[in-house]
Structure 1
Amino acid sequence: MGDFADAYFRASRDFSGVSGALESAAFVSDVQSAIDTALAAMAKEAERRANVGVDYVKGNIAEVWHAETLKVSAVAKGNDDVWATALSNNKTGEDVAYGNASAASHAELKYYKTAEDTARQLGNPAYSDSQKIVPSDQLEGVVAESQKQAARNQDSRPEVSAAYQDTADTVSDRIEVDGVTSKPLTEGDAKSIASELKQDGEIDADKYGLNTEGFIEWSDIFRESGSAALNAAAFSAALTAAPHVYRIIDKCLKTGELDAKLIREGAGHVLSSSSAAGLRGGLAAVITGSCKSGLMGQSLKGVSPNAIGMATAMALNSIENSWRYAQGQISGKELAFNSSRDAVALMMGGGGAALGQMLIPVPILGALLGNLVGSTIGAVGVSYANNKVLGICVESGWTFWGVVDQSYVVPEHVLREAGFDLFAPQYFKPELFAVNKFNVQRFQTDRSSFTFLRRGVIAFNTVGFQ
Structure 2
Amino acid sequence: MKQALKAGLNAATISIVLRTAPEIINAIKYLIENGEVDEEQFKKIGFAALKGGSEGFVRGTVSAAITTACKSGVLGAALKSVDPTVIGAVTVLVMDTVKNSYKVATGKMTRYEMSNELMRTMFTTTCSLALGATSQAFIEVPVVGYMIGSFVGSLVGSFTYSVAYKPAISFCVDTGFTLFGLVNQDYVLPEDVIREIGIDVFDYEQLEYDKFKPEGFQFSTFTPDKFEPEKIDMTFLRRGVIGINEIGFIE
User: TM exceeds 0.5?
Assistant: yes
- Asked if residue 347 in structure 1 is aligned to residue 126 in structure 2, the reply is yes
Among 42, 49, 66, the residue aligned to 1:270: 49
| Residues 115, 182 of structure 2: 8 Å contact kept | no
The percentage of aligned residue pairs carrying the same residue is 34
Counterpart mapping for 1:150-229 below 5 A? 222-229=1-8
Among 379, 404, 407, the residue aligned to 2:186: 407
Match of 1:460 in 2: 244
Among 79, 82, 103, the residue aligned to 1:303: 82
Letter in 1 for 2:118: S
- For structure 1, the residue ranges without an aligned partner over 5 or more in a row are 1-221, 430-441
Among 103, 109, 114, the residue aligned to 1:330: 109
Counterpart mapping for 1:18-417 below 5 A? 222-416=1-195
Quickly say closer, same or farther: Cα 1:426–1:278, change in 2 above 3 A: same
How far, CA to CA, are the matches of 1:428 and 1:317 in structure 2?
Answer: 42
SS of residue paired to 1:458: strand
**TM-score for the superposition, normalised by structure 1:** 0.45
- For structure 2, the residue ranges without an aligned partner over 5 or more in a row are 209-224
Q: Which has the larger radius of gyration?
A: 1
Displacement after TM superposition at 1:447 (Å): 5.4
Quickly say closer, same or farther: Cα 1:446–1:292, change in 2 above 3 A: farther
Displacement after TM superposition at 1:454 (Å): 4.8
Displacement after TM superposition at 1:461 (Å): 0.9
How far, CA to CA, are the matches of 1:359 and 1:464 in structure 2?
Answer: 49
**CA offsets, 1:359-389, max 9 Å, x none?**
3221112212222322343234334322332
SS of residue paired to 1:426: coil
**TM-score for the superposition, normalised by structure 2:** 0.78
Displacement after TM superposition at 1:292 (Å): 2.0
Displacement after TM superposition at 1:339 (Å): 2.3
Quickly say closer, same or farther: Cα 1:348–1:252, change in 2 above 3 A: same
SS of residue paired to 2:205: helix
**CA offsets, 1:445-464, max 9 Å, x none?**
57534444454211221112
**CA offsets, 1:124-156, max 9 Å, x none?**
xxxxxxxxxxxxxxxxxxxxxxxxxxxxxxxxx
Letter in 2 for 1:368: M
Deviates more, 1:247-256 or 1:280-289: 247-256
SS of residue paired to 1:243: helix
**CA offsets, 1:7-30, max 9 Å, x none?**
xxxxxxxxxxxxxxxxxxxxxxxx
How far, CA to CA, are the matches of 1:364 and 1:224 in structure 2?
Answer: 17
The structure showing larger relative contact order (alpha-carbon pairs under 8 Å, at least 6 residues apart) is 1
Runs of 4+ in 1 over 6 A off after TM superposition: none
| Residues 112, 184 of structure 2: 8 Å contact kept | no
Quickly say closer, same or farther: Cα 1:323–1:427, change in 2 above 3 A: closer
Aligned residue pairs total 233
Displacement after TM superposition at 1:444 (Å): 7.1
How far, CA to CA, are the matches of 1:293 and 1:402 in structure 2?
Answer: 41
**CA offsets, 1:33-85, max 9 Å, x none?**
xxxxxxxxxxxxxxxxxxxxxxxxxxxxxxxxxxxxxxxxxxxxxxxxxxxxx
Q: What is the CA RMSD across the aligned residues, in angstroms?
A: 2.9
